[in-house]
Amino acid sequence: MASSSRGVEDHRRKWDRGQYERLAAERLQEELDSLDRANQKQPPVKRELLKQRDYRVDLESRLGKSIVITKNTPSSQTGGYYCNVCDCVVKDSINFLDHINGKKHQQNLGMSMRIERSSLDQVKRRFESNKRKMEDKKKDYDLELRMKELKEEEEKMKEYRREKKKEKKRRYEEPDEEEEGKQQSELAAIMGFSGFGGSKKK
């Protein structure tokens, strides 16, 4: 028996445990080194300070319109308010305004949620510009008020002149009572009547 002379053969594969531990440690070290390199290469993200929108948010253009929605309809065409920056659809206007003013949307735009601190000079300039605007508005209002008063006065004068003309016309068209009485008596004399009235003369 040849098999017994050689000894018991084991058909299982043998693993060198020390070698695989060394390979795992090397791989782990490489991963840590690549993470360190990636962190060193990328400087911290510098985001823009939060600023005021320079456009008007359109909330009313699609109100009251019907849209047929199928499986192939893009998300921007479906019902609700579509945000092209975040590629999402919000179902009502209040939540849409909350979304576009929110942190996630502002970060996708490249802004932080911090605002620029104003200096004393900037605040003074803003006060001066607001004061000038108020004065200009007051001047415009005074001018408008004056123009309105002038128009009202002109209308009153026109009305007064119209009334004068009407009164003059009435006077011209309606003869006086004395002239009317003379005309009636002359007519009655021509026709041979003593008068047109029903009253008896004594």
Tens digits of per-residue pLDDT, 58-77? 888 888 888 888 888 888 78
User: Taking a C-beta distance cutoff of 8 angstroms, is the pair 93, 57 a contact?
Assistant: no
Q: How far is CA 64 from CA 79, 127, 188, 198, in A?
A: 11, 43, 81, 78
107 sits in the region (left: phi over 0; alpha: psi -120 to 50; else beta) called alpha
Q: Which residue in 15, 18, 85 sits closest to 57, CA to CA?
A: 85
What's the pLDDT band for 42 if we cut at 50, 70, 90? low
pLDDT tens-digit readout, 128-156? 999 998 888 777 667 777 888 889 999 99
Mean pLDDT of the region 21-43: 83
- Read off the tokens for 79: 């019902």
Q: Is the pLDDT of residue 1 over 50?
A: no
Place of tokens 């005021």: 52
pLDDT tens-digit readout, 118-134? 899 999 999 999 999 88
pLDDT (0 to 100) of residue 115: 82
Q: Is the pLDDT of residue 28 over 90?
A: yes
H helix or E strand, kind and range, residue 173:
helix 120-173
- φ/ψ of residue 113, rounded to 5: -90, 10
Which of 13-17, 158-162, 198-202 shows the lowest per-residue confidence on average (mean pLDDT)?
198-202
CA dist 62 and 80 (Å) reads 9
Mean pLDDT of the region 93-116: 88
Place of tokens 């510098």: 46
User: Taking a C-beta distance cutoff of 8 angstroms, is the pair 114, 103 a contact?
Assistant: no
